[in-house]
């Protein structure tokens, strides 16, 4: 096993069989996390980038079986932030030192291409030194291009699972894995910095699926790779499925760091939700991004993709200082800049 790890650290790749073996054992975890931290420090030192997350709508036309804001969940109180609300979040975030805003939402028909463009243009005008990231699902290539022209420069769209059969077990027939992958390549072609990723421990997931996820990422070469444990939501068809595991998520973060030394890898909210120190453990296993919540406190509980989401009661300023402390205690340092990927 040690040889496998050494090979991965030196060559940033492994044959399928060795990769699966590494994912299936906990024997290497200590050494794996150390190797990941070494590789991360070579490229990024102790720097941790912050992205201010604005969850601007929990309406969604899709019905993903795992997601708490799926269309068929009649128990969710739906909300939308207005353009003014969104801009106010950015203003507050800017004052707190954020230079990247992530606008995330369900696939909400109210936010047409034109409305999204108007919001992006206005943020671009008011905050010319900031990166604008969209995370609003699947669109036509022409719409992605319009958002880009309006001033968006990054896009997050997890592929969720690279295996076509597994994808169909997580999503109703109206969604297709081929289209989702098409979207990711469209975004890259347009010139976005792209983030993709997957859930760890989603229902029916096998090690072979995870291996396929890593292979897909090698093909896509995204700038950012976001993963987190699958967390059960009680008002979805997957209500009886168990949570994904903290250990396997950390192992995958480390493997991602070794395979993609250049990547921006967030210690996600889901990781912080499954364990109180989850994000800190993620940083020590190779993650280098945190995404505190800038959404108004009044709506935070309503954007619940999964149960028991953290930070729903904190003001943005509290989230910022809380994370600052946590990152420092883990031995890293938050930096205030737009935090671009370092490909070499
Ligand atoms: N548990 C963990 N992550 C989830 N997501 C959606 N639902 C859940 C859940 N129940 C993730 C998906 C999506 C991202 C915004 O949140 O991967 O892409
Ligand atoms: Fe929100 Fe800690 S990051 S309170």
Q: What is the pLDDT of residues 177-233, one digit of tens each?
A: 999 999 999 999 999 999 999 999 999 999 999 999 999 999 999 999 999 999 999
- In this prediction, residue 316 carries a pLDDT of 85
Tell me the pairing of strands 52-57 and 131-135.
Answer: unpaired
- When pLDDT is averaged across residues 327-343 and rounded to a whole number, the result is 92
Q: What is the four-CA torsion angle of 135, 138, 144, 148, rounded to 10 degrees?
A: 0
- In this prediction, residue 49 carries a pLDDT of 97
CB of residue 199 inside a 6 A radius of ligand 1 = yes
Q: Given the CA of residue 310, which atom of ligand 2 is nearest to it?
A: 1
Instruction: Report CA Rg, the chain.
Output: 19
Contact at 8 Å (CB) between 258 and 8? yes
Pocket perturbation via mutation, ligand 1, pick of 57, 76, 306, 309 by most ligand atoms within 8 A of CB:
306
CB of residue 93 inside a 6 A radius of ligand 1 = no
Q: What is the pLDDT of residues 233-247, one digit of tens each?
A: 999 999 999 999 999
Confidence of residue 314 (pLDDT cuts 50, 70, 90): confident
User: Is residue 337 scored above 90 in pLDDT?
Assistant: no
Return phi, psi of residue 188, to 5°. -65, -45
- Residue with CA nearest ligand 2 atom 1: 319
- In this prediction, residue 315 carries a pLDDT of 87
- Ligand 1 centre to CA of 20 (Å) is 24
Number of C-beta neighbours around residue 166 at 10 A: 22
Q: What CATH topology corresponds to 2-335?
A: TIM Barrel (3.20.20)
Q: What is the pLDDT of residues 58-113, one digit of tens each?
A: 999 999 999 999 999 999 999 999 999 999 999 999 999 999 999 999 999 999 99
- Ligand 1 centre to CA of 59 (Å) is 15
User: Is residue 317 scored above 90 in pLDDT?
Assistant: no
CB of residue 160 inside a 6 A radius of ligand 1 = yes
Residue holding tokens 């102790």? 46
Where are the chain's structural domains?
2-335
Q: Given the CA of residue 199, which atom of ligand 1 is nearest to it?
A: 17
- Ligand 1 centre to CA of 305 (Å) is 6
Q: What percent of the chain has pLDDT over 70?
A: 100
Contact at 8 Å (CB) between 52 and 101? yes
Q: SS3 of 155, please?
A: strand
Q: What is the pLDDT of residues 247-263, one digit of tens each?
A: 999 999 999 999 999 99
User: Is residue 31 scored above 90 in pLDDT?
Assistant: yes
Pocket perturbation via mutation, ligand 1, pick of 66, 236, 309 by most ligand atoms within 8 A of CB:
66
Sign of the torsion angle spanned by Cα atoms 316, 322, 325, 330: negative
CB of residue 65 inside a 6 A radius of ligand 1 = no
- In this prediction, residue 323 carries a pLDDT of 93
Joined together, the tokens standing for residue 339 give 């935090």
- When pLDDT is averaged across residues 145-167 and rounded to a whole number, the result is 98
Pocket perturbation via mutation, ligand 2, pick of 301, 323, 329 by most ligand atoms within 8 A of CB:
323
User: Is residue 332 scored above 90 in pLDDT?
Assistant: yes
- When pLDDT is averaged across residues 151-163 and rounded to a whole number, the result is 98
């Amino acid at each position: 096993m040690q040889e496998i790890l050494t090979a991965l650290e030196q060559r940033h790749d492994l044959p399928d069989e060795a990769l699966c073996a590494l994912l299936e054992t906990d024997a290497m975890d200590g050494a794996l996390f150390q190797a990941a931290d070494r590789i991360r420090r070579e490229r990024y030192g102790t720097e941790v980038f912050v992205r201010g997350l604005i969850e601007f709508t929990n309406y969604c036309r899709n019905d993903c079986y795992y997601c708490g804001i799926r269309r068929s969940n009649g128990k969710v109180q739906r909300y939308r932030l207005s353009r003014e609300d969104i801009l106010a979040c950015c203003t507050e975030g800017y004052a707190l030192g954020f230079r990247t805003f992530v606008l995330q939402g369900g696939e909400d028909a109210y936010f047409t291409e034109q409305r999204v463009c108007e919001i992006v243009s206005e943020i671009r005008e008011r905050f010319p030194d900031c990166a604008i990231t969209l995370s609003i699902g699947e669109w036509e290539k022409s719409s992605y291009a319009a958002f880009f022209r309006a001033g968006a420069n990054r896009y997050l769209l997890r592929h969720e699972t690279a295996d076509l059969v597994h994808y169909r077990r997580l999503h109703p027939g109206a969604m297709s894995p081929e289209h989702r992958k098409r979207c990711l390549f469209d975004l890259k072609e347009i010139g976005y910095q792209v983030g993709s990723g997957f859930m760890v421990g989603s229902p029916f997931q096998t090690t072979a699926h995870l291996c396929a996820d890593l292979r897909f990422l090698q093909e896509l070469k995204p700038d950012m790779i976001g993963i987190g444990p699958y967390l059960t939501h009680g008002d979805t068809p997957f209500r009886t499925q168990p949570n994904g595991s903290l250990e396997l998520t950390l192992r995958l973060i480390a493997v991602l760091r070794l395979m993609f030394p250049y990547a921006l890898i967030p210690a996600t909210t889901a990781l912080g939700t499954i364990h109180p120190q989850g994000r800190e453990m993620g940083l020590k296993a190779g993650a280098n991004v945190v995404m505190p919540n800038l959404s108004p406190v009044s709506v935070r509980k309503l954007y619940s993709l999964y149960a028991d989401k953290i930070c729903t009661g904190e003001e943005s300023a509290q989230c910022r200082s809380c994370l600052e402390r946590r990152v420092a205690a883990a031995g890293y340092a938050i930096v205030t800049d737009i935090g671009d990927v370092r490909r070499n």
